[in-house]
Amino acid sequence: MPNLKVLKNRIASVKSTRKITKAMQMVAAAKLRRAQEAAEAGRPYAERFNAVMAQLAGGVSGDSGPKLLVGNGSNQTHLLVVMTAERGLCGGFNGNIAKLARVAANKLMAEGKTVKILTVGKKGREALKRELGSHFIGHVDLSDVKKLGYDNAATIAQDLLTRFDAGEFDVAKIFYSTFQSVISQTPTEQQIIPADFSHVEVGEQSTVYDYEPGEEAILADLLPRAVATQIFSALLENGASEQGARMSAMDNATRNAGDMIDKLTIQYNRSRQAVITNELIEIISGAEAL
Amino acid sequence: MAEMMQFDLVSPERRLTSVQASEVQIPGAEGDFTAMAQHAPVITTLRPGVLKVVTASGTDEYLVTGGFAEVGVAGTSVLAERAFAKADVTPELLEDLIKEANLQRDANNTDMAAKYADDLVAASTQISG
């Protein structure tokens, strides 16, 4: 039976843990709301953009299109852009994205492809370092960024495009988490170079557009932006997912701490009662002996 | 009263406006044009410039730095890389944008970067003047 003092300290420590997790949960809830708003505000742009791109891309036939759309003819070197959070304590969020990326990397390597990895966010880098550290070619640090802006995405996109033009890779994929709800975020893999718009639903194809300048020129102008747009919406989704994951993880932690406090309190009370009973027995038997 | 059409101006970060407009003056890459209801469907890229939206309640002006415009049957939407309402445009903001453009021009030394910077300067005089 642990003595009373130890139990008391234990309870105090779990109580302060509960306070911390509770506070983190509330902070995450506030941040989640903001992140969700940002994600929703970015949605109209991304949707329109993808719709127009899908329409334009549909018009391009064969291998004549720009490299960003049809690829550079090779499929040898794959760049995996792994986007995770800068901070931990958000349940399986970072781990799930890293796991998806690791599985994809191993599969590609088994097929004899070359894999390069660019990490966005510290946690993903840490998770993949041991196994795939030799494949790292760069890291984007967003820990100083207070509010995600399109500029952040544009910088990453610019980096990707420069590398693509230099022939450093043939195919680029991004790994991030889509936000379904507070309790569910799905790790997602999406190909961005060459651009893939097959998942975008093109609405009524009845309108025939005039293109100014020509269709190809517009496409050449918009494709780099499409990369940035996709990265931006991935970053936003990731931001909302991270806060959602942290919120539910901290909610669980708070509840666990509560359960633990209850258990420890019962144990503490029992011990205290046992001590009192013991004392009484001693007094009574002492009195009887007289 | 002119016929109205749906007009949306969105940037990657937010939706700036979504109104019924009678006409929209768009700084297209190949020249300015005005889109009104029943305009032939067209998709064009933008150059930095001033976008004017005429609604029933008056004219709104926006500074856009690039992107593209889609004039369709259902309405007109402008997807701007960066867009600012006229009220939000401050001399400091313009200075920053122009400085950035000049840096780009010096770094790349391409016609496109130079044109971008020149267009931006022209747009900034237009909106602040």
Q: Which residue has 């599985």 as its token pair?
A: A103
Residue ranges per structural domain of chain A: 52-249
Residue positions counted in chain A: 290
Q: Which pLDDT score, from 0 to 100, does residue A203 have?
A: 58
pLDDT value at B34 more than 80: yes
pLDDT value at A206 more than 60: no
A211 interface with B at CB cutoff 8 Å: yes
Joined together, the tokens standing for residue A119 give 């990490």
B28 interface with A at CB cutoff 8 Å: yes
Please tell me whether residues B45 and B93 are part of one structural domain: no
pLDDT in tens, A56-98: 777 766 566 778 887 887 888 999 999 999 988 998 899 999 9
Please tell me whether residues B56 and B95 are part of one structural domain: no
pLDDT value at A200 more than 70: no
Residues 6+ apart with CB under 8 A from A57: A65, A69, A195, A197, A219
Please tell me whether residues B26 and B57 are part of one structural domain: yes
Contact B65, B76 (CB under 8 A): no
Residues of chain B in contact with residue A42, where contact means CB-CB under 8 angstroms, are 12-14
Architecture of domain A52-249: 3-Layer(aba) Sandwich (3.40)
The mean-pLDDT minimum among A191-205, A270-284, B33-47, B104-118 falls in A191-205
The set of long-range contacts for B111-117, using a CB threshold of 8 Å and a minimum separation of 24, is B115/B47, B116/B47, B116/B48, B116/B66
ipTM: 0.83
| pLDDT tier for residue B78 given thresholds of 50, 70 and 90 | very high
Please tell me whether residues B98 and B81 are part of one structural domain: no
% chain A with pLDDT above 70? 94
Please tell me whether residues B23 and B46 are part of one structural domain: yes
Please tell me whether residues B56 and B75 are part of one structural domain: yes
DSSP B52-104: EEEETTEEEEEEE-SEEEEE-SSEEEEEESSEEEGGG--HHHHHHHHHHHHHH
Question: Backbone phi, then psi, for A164, in 5-degree steps?
Answer: -65, -45
pLDDT in tens, A172-188: 999 999 998 888 899 99
- Does residue A213 have a cis bond before it (omega within 30 degrees)? yes
- What proportions of chain B, in percent to the nearest 5, are helix, strand and coil? 30, 45, 25
How many domains does one find in chain B? 2
Please tell me whether residues B64 and B119 are part of one structural domain: no
Q: Report CA-CA distances (Å) from A208 to A67, A87, A97, A198.
A: 25, 48, 41, 20
pLDDT value at A204 more than 60: no
Q: Which of A81, A183, A178 is nearest to A124 (CA)?
A: A81
Q: d(Cα B101, Cα A188) in Å, to the nearest integer? A: 35
For A45, which of B10, B28, B40 is closest by C-beta distance? B10
Q: d(Cα A5, Cα B20) in Å, to the nearest integer? A: 72
CB pairs under 8 A between A and B: 76
B32 interface with A at CB cutoff 8 Å: no
Contact B77, B90 (CB under 8 A): no
Residues of chain A in contact with residue B16, where contact means CB-CB under 8 angstroms, are none
Contact A222, A53 (CB under 8 A): yes
Please tell me whether residues B95 and B49 are part of one structural domain: no
pLDDT in tens, A270-281: 999 999 999 999
CB contact under 8 A, A48 and B13: no
DSSP A196-247: --TTSPP--TT---EEES-HHHHHHHHHHHHHHHHHHHHHHHHHHHHHHHHH
Give the chain A residue nearest B68 (alpha carbons).
A222
| pLDDT tier for residue A1 given thresholds of 50, 70 and 90 | low
pLDDT in tens, A25-57: 999 999 999 999 998 888 888 888 888 888 777
Please tell me whether residues B17 and B73 are part of one structural domain: yes
User: Residue A57 corresponds to which amino acid?
Assistant: A
pLDDT value at B79 more than 80: yes
Domain interval for residue B118: 88-128
Residue B106: exposure state from Cβ atoms within 10 A (0-12, 13-18, ≥19): exposed
Cα of B21 vs its chain's centroid, Å: 15
Q: d(Cα B19, Cα A207) in Å, to the nearest integer? A: 22
Interface of B with A in 42-71 (CB under 8 A): 42-45, 67-68, 70
| pLDDT tier for residue B14 given thresholds of 50, 70 and 90 | confident
Q: What is the mean pLDDT of chain A?
A: 88
**Bridge pairing between strands A210-212 and B42-46:** parallel
